[in-house]
A and B are shown apart, each in its own frame.
Chain A
């Protein structure tokens, strides 16, 4: 299973765009990049998933370059409620489990 590396913490201000980069050098052909968000004392919440190029939903965008060795989660115009821990996972198709890393603790200031 591919190991992911992401910054331990990031700070931002309300209204700014936040980009969190995740490194996954040994990603396998059948791995998907998936991001989860977790607030204190709550379970993680799925944000977005992609395989390559760009994926966008109502919450975020995910950019995956052609070599797939890294990916970037982009949160447009963050608010205080986006303060949370963000986990990047390389999910292998058909292996049935999620391997969480340490995550990135995002703090949004007013």
Chain B
């Protein structure tokens, strides 16, 4: 069974631009969560989607948004990029939205904002 895939793996943008990251969950998984990882703040929860609905949101500004499609694939968008948005963005999928379900992480998208 294929794992969680994220595209692109690496991305370089400049301040003020916007970016869209994509995540394809494991087949059959309906829940997708997004995390931001930086050396200073560690791994921080962004949001979680289940059946195309955002079920939970972390403490990030409105510039960070996401959506989930009917096939459970998810996209994350960051508008008006800032230098501090440089990070590894990780997507994780699980079978359901139960927090005790194992979350399977993808390899991440490394975003660099210049």
In Å, the complex CA distance between A94 and B42 comes to 23
A87 touches B43 (CB 8 A): yes
Give the interface size class of chain B: 20 to 34
Report B-chain residues with C-beta under 8 Å of the C-beta of A43. 4, 90-92, 105-108
Count contacts between A and B, CB distance < 8 Å.
68
Report A-chain residues with C-beta under 8 Å of the C-beta of B31. 96
Q: Is B71 located at the chain interface by the 8 A CB criterion?
A: no
A52 to chain B, nearest CB (A): 14
In Å, the complex CA distance between A101 and B42 comes to 7
A91 touches B100 (CB 8 A): yes
Which secondary structure dominates chain A's binding surface? loop
Report A-chain residues with C-beta under 8 Å of the C-beta of B48. 96-97
Q: Is A109 located at the chain interface by the 8 A CB criterion?
A: no
List 7 A–B pairs whose Cβ atoms lie within 8 Å, in order of A's numbering.
Answer: A43-B105, A44-B43, A49-B102, A92-B99, A93-B100, A96-B55, A101-B42
Residues of B within 8 A of A (CB): 4, 31, 33, 35, 42-45, 48, 50, 55-56, 58, 88, 90-92, 97-100, 102-108, 110
